[in-house]
Amino acid sequence: MPEGGGIDLSQEPAIYSPQRFAGQRVLITGAAQGIGLAVAHRIAYEDGSVFLVDRAELVHDVAKHLAEAGKGTIGSATADLEAFEGATAMMDAAIEALGGIDVAINVVGGTIWAKPFEEYAPEEIEKEVTRSLMTTLWSVRAELPHLINGGGGTIVNVSSVATRGINRVPYAASKGGVNALTAALALEAADKNVRVVATAPGGTLAPERAVKRGPGPESEQEKAWYQQIVDQTIDSSLFKRYGTLQEQAGPIAFLASREASYVTGSVLPVAGGDQG
């Protein structure tokens, strides 16, 4: 059976709400793997017309498998969202495929290195910020005019409870920026009928990534620093475990849906009780 990141795309999600996104055109970034893929799977089965974006060519396979499952209008594109030109190209492709968008879900980001702040080289700090803040900032800047011109819509950003986490200060600072972006833009965009919200996932179990974010821990010291992150993540959860991809996709889908029409400016922690 076709699978994407451990998810059988031909099978219904374990929990979903049929027709919740009927008539809605939904752009999802980071959709080839992990949380973004789980969100794409769920919203497609909730009858949304989805356009999937990722830097990995794998995103086209995900779109193909969802289309074969008969799940509405499915489009895809590769884009480098670390630059504004990539974000505008993404929007051009989405508009061509769907005619417009009603919802944008921005999932791109992730820790590249795991180590104490004094161990980061200046260029590593810049890469972390580019990956986990600028991708969302550029995406939102490209998405917003289309939502406003279309009469309104919803932006859902994916942040992290790691804003209070060890061994990844540049990533934490980046996700703090995503939280600030969400709150400030919600104030600006409300009178334009645009909602801006976010979730802040905690540690999430996912299959090994086909396209890795970074080199991964290699030395014994690097492995120890990474283990400190794992230990803190589990200890900070009231359930003492990592979450699942489905447990992250559900809150994102809710906030993106019309059920959350009176929610804006909020960042929802999804981390087993860890508030970040």
Kindly report the CATH number assigned to the domain that includes residue 153: 3.40.50.720
Number of domains in the chain: 1
Whether residue 235 lies inside any domain: the answer is no
Average pLDDT over residues 222-237: 96
Residue-level pLDDT at 96: 97
Higher pLDDT, 161 or 276: 161
Residue-level pLDDT at 141: 98
Residue-level pLDDT at 7: 85
What does the alpha-carbon distance between residue 232 and residue 230 come to, in Å, rounded to a whole number? 6
C-beta of residue 254 within 8 angstroms of C-beta of residue 260: yes
User: Is 226 part of the annotated catalytic residue set?
Assistant: no
Strand 25-29's sheet: what is its strand order?
74-78, 49-54, 25-29, 103-106, 153-158, 194-201, 267-270
Whether residue 234 lies inside any domain: the answer is no
Considering the chain, what is the average pLDDT of its residues?
94
Higher pLDDT, 264 or 4: 264
Whether residue 220 lies inside any domain: the answer is no
- Which has the minimum average pLDDT: 61-70, 120-129, 211-220? 211-220
Residue-level pLDDT at 215: 80
Alpha carbon 208 to its chain centroid, in Å, reads 17
Q: Given 45, 171, 226, 242, which residue is catalytic?
A: 171
Distance between terminal CA atoms of the chain?
Answer: 38
User: What residue numbers bound the domain in which 41 lies?
Assistant: 7-11+17-215+242-268
Average pLDDT over residues 146-175: 98
Average pLDDT over residues 197-211: 89
Residue-level pLDDT at 37: 97
C-beta of residue 167 within 8 angstroms of C-beta of residue 236: no
Predicted TM-score of the model (pTM): 0.95
Percent of the chain at pLDDT > 90 equals: 88
Residue-level pLDDT at 225: 97
Residue-level pLDDT at 217: 83
Whether residue 236 lies inside any domain: the answer is no
Residue-level pLDDT at 73: 82
Whether residue 224 lies inside any domain: the answer is no
HSE-CB at 87 with a 13 A cutoff on CA atoms is 20
- Ranges of beta strands (E only) in the chain are 3-4, 7-8, 25-29, 49-54, 74-78, 103-106, 153-158, 194-201, 267-270
Whether residue 233 lies inside any domain: the answer is no
10 pLDDT tier (thresholds 50, 70, 90):
confident
Per-residue pLDDT reduced to its tens digit, 70-125: 787 899 999 999 999 999 999 999 999 999 999 999 999 999 999 999 999 999 99
C-beta of residue 55 within 8 angstroms of C-beta of residue 26: no
192 pLDDT tier (thresholds 50, 70, 90):
very high
DSSP 16: -
Cα dihedral 132/135/136/141 (nearest 10):
150
Of 11, 13, 4, the residue nearest 57 (C-alpha): 4
Residue-level pLDDT at 54: 97
Percent of the chain at pLDDT > 70 equals: 96
Average pLDDT over residues 1-11: 65
Whether residue 33 lies inside any domain: the answer is yes
Whether residue 275 lies inside any domain: the answer is no
